[in-house]
C-alpha cells in the first residue's frame, strides 16, 4: 500500500452528504503548549506532523479556536495552505480560554459569529467545511446558539454544522433549527456513556467524532486483552483501540492527536488493522463498565 493511501484503509465517510473523508483523521489539540495553552515546545515537529498526516492520506483534520487559543489553526495554515482539494478542516467555537486547562462555555451568538469570522481568517478559507459548537452554553437557548451558526451557513461562511458533548435530546433540539452533520463526544473502549447517541447517529448517517479515542487503562496491561490481541496483529494496544472504534460503527471518525511524527505514523497505521468479530466482542466486553 502506498504511503499516501494508508489512511484510506480505514474506509470513507461522507460528512453532510457531500464531503467524503477517510475515516481515520487527525485531532490538532496536541500541537499546542502544556494545558493546551500557548505554542508547542517543538513548532517544527508539529509542522512536520501536519504535513506527514496529509502524506499518509489523512484528509480530515479537527481543530478549534480554543486550542492555544488560536495556535492550532495558525499552525495548520502555516503547514498546509494552500490546502489540497480533498482536505476537510473542521473547527469549533464555544469555549473561552483564560489560562492553561481552563475552559469556559460561551455560546453568546455574537461571540460565536466573531469566532467564525476569526477562524476563517486564521485558516485562510472562505468557507469552513465543518463548524462545531464546542459546548452548548446553558445560559443561552440551544436554538439561539445553533441558529447563529445556521445564519452563518446561509451566508456561505459555514458548509456543515456539528455539535460537541451533547445527548440525544440536545441533538433533537438542534435538528429543529438546522441539519446536523456530526457530533463529537468523548468515547473510547472504556468510556462509552454516549452509546445511545452513537446508536441514533449511526441510524441517521450523522458523523460521530470520538475525542480521547485512545484511553484504554487496564485493558492495555501486559496481561490484558488489548495486549494479547495486539500481539496477534503485531500491533500496539493504541492501534487496537483505534481499530475497535473503526469497527464499532461506520459513522465513527477517530481523530487521534499527537505532536510527534513517529506517534502519528503508528496511529495512522491502525487503519490497516481489521479485527475479527470475536476480537471485537472480546474487547467490547472487557471495556464495558462493570455496571452496564
What residues are annotated to the active site? 67
Listed in sequence order, the residues at least 6 apart from 290 whose beta carbon sits closer than 8 Å to its beta carbon are none
Beta strands in 165-290 (DSSP E): 182-184, 207-208
Closest CA to 15 of 226, 174, 253: 253
Is 61 within 8 Å of 72 (Cβ atoms)? no
- Mutual angle of helices 168-175 and 142-154, in 10-degree steps: 50
Q: What values do phi and psi take at 68, rounded to 5? A: 130, -55
Do 149 and 138 contact (CB within 8 A), yes or no?
A: no
Residue 253 has which C-alpha cell?
A: 471518525
Cβ-in-10-Å burial (0-12, 13-18, 19+) of 244 comes to buried
Q: How far apart are CA 287 and CA 284, in angstroms?
A: 5
Q: Which residues of 3-19 are buried (b: 16+ CB within 10 A; e: fewer)?
A: eeebbbbbeebebbeeb
Name the CA radius of gyration of the chain, rounded. 18
Contact criterion met (CB below 8 Å) for 8 and 57: yes
Cα–Cα distance between 254 and 58 in angstroms, integer?
11
Amino acid at each position: 500500500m502506498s504511503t499516501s493511501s494508508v489512511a484510506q484503509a480505514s474506509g470513507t465517510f461522507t460528512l453532510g452528504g457531500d464531503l467524503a473523508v477517510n475515516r481515520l483523521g487527525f485531532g490538532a489539540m496536541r500541537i499546542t503548549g502544556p494545558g493546551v495553552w500557548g505554542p508547542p515546545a517543538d513548532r517544527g515537529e508539529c509542522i512536520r506532523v501536519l504535513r506527514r498526516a496529509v502524506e499518509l492520506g489523512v484528509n480530515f483534520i479537527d481543530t478549534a479556536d480554543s486550542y492555544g487559543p488560536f495556535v492550532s489553526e495558525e499552525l495548520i495554515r502555516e503547514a498546509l495552505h494552500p490546502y489540497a482539494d480533498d482536505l476537510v478542516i473542521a473547527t469549533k467555537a464555544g469555549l473561552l480560554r483564560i489560562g492553561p486547562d481552563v475552559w469556559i462555555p460561551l455560546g453568546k451568538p455574537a461571540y460565536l459569529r466573531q469566532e467564525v469570522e476569526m477562524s476563517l481568517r486564521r485558516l485562510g478559507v472562505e468557507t469552513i467545511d465543518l463548524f462545531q459548537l464546542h459546548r452548548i452554553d446553558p445560559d443561552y437557548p440551544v436554538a439561539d446558539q445553533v441558529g447563529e451558526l445556521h445564519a452563518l451557513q446561509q451566508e456561505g461562511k459555514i458548509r456543515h454544522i456539528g455539535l460537541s458533548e451533547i445527548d440525544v435530546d440536545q441533538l433533537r433540539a438542534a435538528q429543529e433549527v438546522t441539519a446536523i452533520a456530526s457530533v463529537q463526544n468523548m468515547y473510547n473502549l472504556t468510556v462509552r456513556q454516549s452509546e445511545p447517541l452513537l446508536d441514533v447517529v449511526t441510524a441517521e448517517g450523522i458523523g460521530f467524532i470520538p475525542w480521547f479515542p485512545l484511553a484504554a487503562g487496564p485493558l492495555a496491561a501486559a496481561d490484558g486483552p488489548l495486549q494479547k490481541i495486539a500481539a496477534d496483529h503485531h500491533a500496539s494496544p493504541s492501534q487496537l483501540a483505534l481499530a475497535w472504534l473503526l469497527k464499532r460503527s461506520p459513522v465513527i471518525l477517530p481523530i487521534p492527536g499527537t505532536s510527534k511524527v513517529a506517534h502519528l505514523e503508528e496511529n495512522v497505521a491502525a487503519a490497516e488493522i481489521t479485527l475479527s468479530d470475536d476480537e471485537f466482542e472480546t474487547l467490547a466486553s472487557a471495556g464495558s463498565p462493570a455496571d452496564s
